[in-house]
Structure 1
Amino acid sequence: MDTLAQLRAGRLAGATRIDLSCGLTEFPREVFDLADSLEVLNLSGNALETLPDDLHRLRRLRVLFCSDNRFTTLPESIGRCNGLDIVGFKANRIRTVPANALPPSLRWLILTDNEIEELPDSLGACTRMQKLMLAGNRLRTLPDSMARFEQLELLRISANRFETLPGWLSSLPRLSWLACAGNPFDTQAEDAAIVAQSVPHVDWSELTLGEKLGEGASGVIHRATLGADSRPVAVKLFKGAVTSDGWPHSEMAASIAAGAHPTLIAAQSRIDGHPEGTEGLVMALVDPAFATLAGSPSLASCTRDVYAEEAKWTAGEAMRIARDIASAMQHLHARGILHGDLYAHNILWHAQGGGRLGDFGAAWLTGALDARQTQAFQALEVRAFGCLLEELLDRCIDVPAPEAATLKDRCLHPDAAARPTFAEALSILQRHALQP
């Protein structure tokens, strides 16, 4: 983390990125001394309410983060920064988004956890938009101008006030990752209440918590033991606050509704009696030999995962991973669940053990949708699977079967109606996957 003293002393001259989180109440004018070099400006975690009108003087600026501040209006000066790719104003107090505050160059916009009731039609001019994060606001509609978003791949509108979803949403040709839980149209709460009665409940006193295995936006996962026989399990304790994907209780509902499946990391039971009232789930403890398939998207990759240089596998292994994930997705769709985040970074794999799909943070239930809508939104997830299959094939050390590339192309077809179902994809992959 950079310091204001360093900036004012000129020790950050020539910097392409600066991160200032030091209780700022005013924009430090010394930032303009970096106008010829600065590309990434992170002012998150301060007490800012405004940005300067001449922000566009930072002519090389591509990324601006101002999350966790005190903005009530998205600054109009942002709209004059013609080179901006990424803008993030998560967890402010924003109620108003002026029409001229959005530069058409935007590729990734984060307005999660604010108080926005309406977005301007001018948003539709941002035709490069690939990733749009709007969870945790007060939106009832989206601008119809967004129907022109032919590049949009990821959209988060969970935890808002939508009573219906826009009719054009499922026809966007590249949309692959959609989160909608926690809206009035969604019967998830009612469905979850019914489903919750059919899963075991474990008292907190029966669990012994061990080391932390991981932490995400919605909660913390620990190794634990259960019962008198000290059975090894994993425990996820939810944080309770809205995340970029939506409400943690929506994740819990989807995890419970998913049920058991051999290639799915889902809930086994709910936790009762936590001393602080924290909600939690007990899950199977995955063999530590399994590793995460890839890292999350970067600022540069935007919507696509980042793989380690050494991430390579045989065509048979790739097909087995794809087969296992297709099987998990077929199971979820049959139970009326959309995963919303079908990504390699949510998959654990092992050369002998295949693939395991987890993380229901963006998942939502389709109970409120009719059959046509359900099929259309399921087709979005088939495109996400096509992206995964493309990544797997690109990293094969030998030549995959021609049918694999054909399946990938069909999954990525811009017309959702032309994409296969997961049942069809699974039948193809089963013929080419490396058997255990």
Structure 2
Amino acid sequence: GFNNNRLASLDGERLPEGLVWLIAAGNRIEALPNIARLKHVRKLMLSHNRLTCEALAPVAGIEDLEMVRVAANRLESFPPELLRHPRMSWVAVGGNPFAEACMERRLAAGPPSIDFAEIALGEVLGSGAGATVYSAQWRGQAVAVKLWDGERFSDGTARGEWAANRVAGPPGHPP
């Protein structure tokens, strides 16, 4: 991958055509010239860069694309072409201006906070992408609790993930 290399641009002409994963998170990427040339990329990870909606739009031309992580960029909106991509199954956009604005609106009317002292953590259920999930008890109910290992990770920020979970509300109770 090309993580954390201070790259400002990622030119598809300079990369192998048969590439299947392209990981270039934590750079300064503002442009993706010729990116659609990489037809076989299935996983594209560009979180923590400087991409705008206009710079990201050509990614929709990548035929085999299934996952795109563009958390913590400068997206004021998300390219609709990418949402309609026939193979897309995972999109991470937390920490972008449009996602932050939406989150703040929902948090203003969201469910109440829970006092962490009321939670009894149990065994680890799983971990990945910067967090660990535990079984737990809260007020006599079995729940799952997600604890983040740091502030930044591939899907955005710990605060963004926390807010997204808070906005979603408790299981069985739509916001």
Tell me the TM-score normalised to structure 1 length: 0.35
Query: Is 2:128 aligned against 1:216?
Result: yes
Q: Report if aligned partners of 2:68, 2:91 keep a CA contact under 8 Å in 1.
A: yes
State the 1:161 CA deviation.
0.5
- Inter-partner Cα distance in structure 1 for 2:157 and 2:19: 26
1:127/1:234 CA distance change after superposition, 3 Å: closer
- Inter-partner Cα distance in structure 2 for 1:232 and 1:170: 35
- Mapping of 1:52-63 within 5 angstroms? none
1:218/1:98 CA distance change after superposition, 3 Å: closer
Query: Is 2:107 aligned against 1:190?
Result: no
Instruction: Name the residue aligned to 2:149.
Output: 239
Q: Report if aligned partners of 1:149, 1:172 keep a CA contact under 8 Å in 2.
A: no
Q: 2:5 aligns with which of 81, 86, 93?
A: 93
Q: Report if aligned partners of 2:10, 2:31 keep a CA contact under 8 Å in 1.
A: no
More strand, by proportion: 2
State the 1:205 CA deviation.
3.1
Instruction: Name the residue aligned to 1:108.
Output: 21
Q: Report if aligned partners of 1:157, 1:180 keep a CA contact under 8 Å in 2.
A: yes
- 2:14 corresponds to which letter in structure 1? A
1:314-350 CA distance string (max 9 Å, x none): xxxxxxxxxxxxxxxxx6xxx6xxxxxxxxxxxxxxx
Q: Report if aligned partners of 2:103, 2:164 keep a CA contact under 8 Å in 1.
A: no
- Mapping of 1:272-311 within 5 angstroms? none
- Inter-partner Cα distance in structure 1 for 2:138 and 2:151: 27
Identity of aligned residues (%): 37
Structure with the greater alpha carbon radius of gyration: 1
Instruction: Name the residue aligned to 2:117.
Output: 205
Question: Taking CA–CA contacts closer than 8 Å with sequence separation of 6 or more, which of the two structures ends up with the larger relative contact order?
Answer: 2
State the 1:110 CA deviation.
1.1
State the 1:144 CA deviation.
4.8
- 1:183 corresponds to which letter in structure 2? N
1:212/1:176 CA distance change after superposition, 3 Å: closer
Instruction: Name the residue aligned to 1:123.
Output: 35
Instruction: Name the residue aligned to 1:169.
Output: 82
Query: Is 2:174 aligned against 1:259?
Result: no
- Mapping of 1:18-417 within 5 angstroms? 88-90=1-3, 92-97=4-9, 99=11, 100-119=13-32, 121-140=33-52, 141-142=54-55, 144-186=57-99, 187-196=101-110, 198-202=111-115, 204-226=116-138, 232-262=142-172
Q: Report if aligned partners of 1:107, 1:130 keep a CA contact under 8 Å in 2.
A: yes
- Inter-partner Cα distance in structure 1 for 2:89 and 2:133: 27
- Gaps in structure 2 of 5+ consecutive residues: none
* Structural RMSD (CA): 2.8
- Inter-partner Cα distance in structure 2 for 1:111 and 1:154: 14
State the 1:222 CA deviation.
2.6
Q: Report if aligned partners of 2:9, 2:30 keep a CA contact under 8 Å in 1.
A: no
Tell me the TM-score normalised to structure 2 length: 0.79
- Inter-partner Cα distance in structure 2 for 1:217 and 1:102: 26
Secondary structure of the residue aligned to 1:249 is helix
- Inter-partner Cα distance in structure 2 for 1:240 and 1:97: 27
1:182-224 CA distance string (max 9 Å, x none): 211232341243144x32421x333343433322223222334
- 2:145 corresponds to which letter in structure 1? V
1:131/1:254 CA distance change after superposition, 3 Å: same
- 1:112 corresponds to which letter in structure 2? A
- Inter-partner Cα distance in structure 1 for 2:118 and 2:80: 48
1:103/1:211 CA distance change after superposition, 3 Å: same
- Gaps in structure 1 of 5+ consecutive residues: 1-87, 267-330, 336-436
Instruction: Name the residue aligned to 1:43.
Output: none
